């Protein structure tokens, strides 16, 4: 009997081994119905993809932390980075609006202060603040304007605030036509509020620039052009934007005058702007000069004017002249007449 059981056990073990070799599991009852691999999938075997997880608070904070950071490769030579940017034609402006870049001057860094006042705080000196704003809203300050090289005294107010404006170094409309259409909504919002792309500048200069690129507008302050163009290159590198051929050539021409110019590493103006002020003029004291006493003008006798003949005086003859006590009459005197001056010497009734 024992030998029978041993024979049966050996047979079972051999069968299990054969099933394993041919890829069948002895405990999988569903696989035994089909020994050939099936080329169609059973509906019940289809797996539902897991939904993408939403962005975590840490990831959102990481996105906010990118605001203001220099692009990868900052401090690299600006000409070298320029050559890494794609050169393409300008895309249509179709669909552009300021709203594509989020609300204007959003508080993207969550510091409790809007972007405009963040930049005024960064770029102005001698600042005062509006009361009860926790030193956020700038009421006044001094800007050494990088675009004109002049000093601007900023005063917050309906009629005065526009003297200092916050410029997008790479204009949003220009960015839209050179790659920003492909950015995400968050990336566009970041571009519009990124301190790396923002400068406090002279308001009229910002208006003249409008949405121009380096091929159509450069700062009047020639000493700032290299840094200005280098920052545009840095912004375009950071946000994966391209340049047109004309823009590329204009940037290269500017940088040819400063071949060691590097990409800025952070926001704000790197090179201190010296306001072009007129040097004070020292007025040398003039030696005291004795002022001569004015002499009275010599009295001049009035020039004798020829008497105007009074046509209302008429003498019939010299007897009448003598009777009137006017004899002799001189030419030009009232009553003189050539008929009374018989010898024509200008004296009548002698």
Q: Which of 153, 135, 136 is CA-nearest to residue 144?
A: 153
DSSP strand pairing (125-129 vs 151-155): unpaired
What pLDDT score does 271 carry? 66
Average confidence (pLDDT) over 188-204: 97
Burial class (CB in 10 A: 0-12, 13-18, 19+), 220: middle
Is 193's pLDDT higher than 90?
yes
Which of the listed ranges 12-21, 57-66, 256-265, 292-301 does the model predict with the highest average pLDDT?
Answer: 256-265
pTM for the structure as a whole:
0.60
Residue boundaries of the structural domains of the chain: 78-256, 318-348
Stated length of the chain: 350
Identify the pLDDT of residue 23: 44
- Three-class SS state of 347: strand
**288 has a pLDDT exceeding 60:** no
Question: In this structure, are residues 183 and 106 in contact, taking their beta carbons and an 8 Å threshold?
Answer: no
Tell me the pLDDT tens digit for each residue of 31-47: 333 334 444 444 444 44
Residue 68 pLDDT level (bands cut at 50, 70, 90)? low
For 290-313, what is the mean pLDDT? 50
What is the per-residue burial (b if ≥16 Cβ within 10 Å, else e) of 23-58? Answer: eeeeeeeeeeeeeeeeeeeeeeeeeeeeeeeeeeee
Averaged pLDDT, 142-157: 98
55 vs 125 pLDDT, higher one: 125
Sequence-distant (≥ 6) Cβ neighbours of residue 151 within 8 angstroms: 142, 143, 144, 145, 275, 277
For 160-185, what is each residue's pLDDT tens digit? 999 999 999 999 999 999 999 999 99
- Look over the chain and give the mean of its residue pLDDT values, rounded to a whole number: 78
The mean per-residue pLDDT over the stretch 314-328 comes to: 78
């Amino acid at each position: 009997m024992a030998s029978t059981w041993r024979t049966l056990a050996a047979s079972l073990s051999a069968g299990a081994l054969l099933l394993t070799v041919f890829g069948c599991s002895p405990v999988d009852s569903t696989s035994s119905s089909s020994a050939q691999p099936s080329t169609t999938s059973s509906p019940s075997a289809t797996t539902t993809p897991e939904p993408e997880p939403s962005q975590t608070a840490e990831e959102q904070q990481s996105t906010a932390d990118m605001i203001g950071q220099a692009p990868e490769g900052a401090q690299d030579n600006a000409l070298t980075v320029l050559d890494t940017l794609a050169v393409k034609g300008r895309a249509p402006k179709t669909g552009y609006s300021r709203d594509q870049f989020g609300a204007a001057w959003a508080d993207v860094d969550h510091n409790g202060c809007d972007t405009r006042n963040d930049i005024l705080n960064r770029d102005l000196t001698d600042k005062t603040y509006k009361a009860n704003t926790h030193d956020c809203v700038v009421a006044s300050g001094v800007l050494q304007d990088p675009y004109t090289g002049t000093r601007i005294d900023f005063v917050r107010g309906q009629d005065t605030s526009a003297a200092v404006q916050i410029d997008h170094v790479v204009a949003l409309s220009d960015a839209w036509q050179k790659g920003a259409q492909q950015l995400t909504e968050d990336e566009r919002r970041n571009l519009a509020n990124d301190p790396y792309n923002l400068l406090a500048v002279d308001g009229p200069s910002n208006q003249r620039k409008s949405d121009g690129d380096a091929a159509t507008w450069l700062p009047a302050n020639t000493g700032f052009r290299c840094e200005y163009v280098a920052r545009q290159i840095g912004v375009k590198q950071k946000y994966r934007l391209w340049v047109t051929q004309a823009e590329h050539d204009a940037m290269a021409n500017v940088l040819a005058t400063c071949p060691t110019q590097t990409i800025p590493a952070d926001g704000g103006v790197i090179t201190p702007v010296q306001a072009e002020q007129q040097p004070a003029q020292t007025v040398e004291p003039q030696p005291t000069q004795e002022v001569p006493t004015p002499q009275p003008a010599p009295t001049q006798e009035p020039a004798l004017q020829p008497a105007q003949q009074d046509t209302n005086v008429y003498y019939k003859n010299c007897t009448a002249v003598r009777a009137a006590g006017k004899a002799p009459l001189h030419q030009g005197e009232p009553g003189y007449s050539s008929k009374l001056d018989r010898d024509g010497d200008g004296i009548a009734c002698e």
